[in-house]
Amino acid sequence: MRHFLCIQDCTSQQLNHLLELSIQLKGLHRQGRLKRTLEGKILAMVFEKASLRTRMSFQVAMADLGGLAIHLKPDDIGILGQREPVKDIARVLGRYAHGIMARTYSHQTLIELAQYAGVPVINALSDWSHPCQAMADMLTIKEHCGRLEGIKLAFIGDGNNVARALAFASAKLGLSMAIASPEGYELDDQTIQAANAERPCLVQLRDPVEVVQGADVIYTDTWISMGQEAQTEQRLRAFQGYQVNAELLRHAPNAKIMHCLPAHRGHEITDEVAESPNSVIFDQAENRLHFQRALLQELLGKQ
């Protein structure tokens, strides 16, 4: 594995290996026995958008493994390609760092960085996908449900970057996923076909109640992703009826509740549900760190 841009690009074997390594490193971390496998390694972290979990977990993971992460904020280099071409940024960063982690508006920017950098590039969220989130979520599901094979994942809301990454993770790792979205906000046909070509596993539906029936896990994400703020009013209208709340959970009372965070309580999820005993949202946030450590060791450790 050279880069980590999209779950779809990885084999099931590679993803399972990353999960096993995450579990192993999580165990060593808890025992205070992590090795400094990335001593002398530098990670450049480029952000076009805000971040709490992704920024912190990558920076802590690099520190844990003896490496250094350098954070380039939107104020530092702005939207990639505006101050200088993406291909130039890629080649400059590739001369200083052993890997690049980037959070971009356009997925195409990541592809271009990967094409020119000469070092591994990691997707820290783009408009197309959030693969590090989906893998931390797979780790969380495995821990809480004891397995991934045959798990029923219900996604309520926007067919966005997080939903797409979960769809491909489900296809590769043996889960089935049903998604309920309002008209115009479904997952795109290309994603649905590609995920189902891998393994028939994904259905796009309209009715949240239908989707949560028999679910092991109910997942939701914001109705307004970063960069979509201008559509706030129309999105708030469109997503009425797609809130994960106590009424919806009556149809799947034992399901674990997941959210990638940040959560907008009162919109896609109620405070009551986010704080309920079945909510595993902070385990997901913690597992970002454990997955990132494995990913960095795999990509940068072999440089």
Binding mask 197-236 for ligand NVA (x = CB under 6 A): ------------------------xx--xx----------
Q: What phi and psi values does residue 250 have, to the nearest 5 degrees?
A: -60, -25
Q: Which of 53, 22, 65 is nearest to 263 (CA)?
A: 53
The three state secondary structure string of 33-101 is: CCCCCCCCCEEEEEECCCCCHHHHHHHHHHHHCCCEEEEECHHHHCCCCCCCCHHHHHHHHHHHCCEEE
Q: How far is CA 296 from the centre of its chain?
A: 15
Eight-state DSSP code of residue 247? H
By the rule CB under 6 A, 52 interacts with ligand CP = yes
260 is catalytic: yes
Binding mask 14-43 for ligand NVA (x = CB under 6 A): ------------------------------
Which residues in 187-216 contact ligand CP (CB under 6 A)? none
Which residues in 157-196 contact ligand NVA (CB under 6 A)? 160-162
Among 116, 199, 261, 286, binds ligand CP (CB under 6 A): 261
By the rule CB under 6 A, 126 interacts with ligand CP = no
CA distance 40 to 32: 20
Residue with tokens 């999209």: 6
By the rule CB under 6 A, 260 interacts with ligand NVA = yes
Binding-site ranges for ligand NVA (CB under 6 A):
125, 160-162, 221-222, 225-226, 260
- Catalytic positions are 103, 130, 133, 221, 260, 288
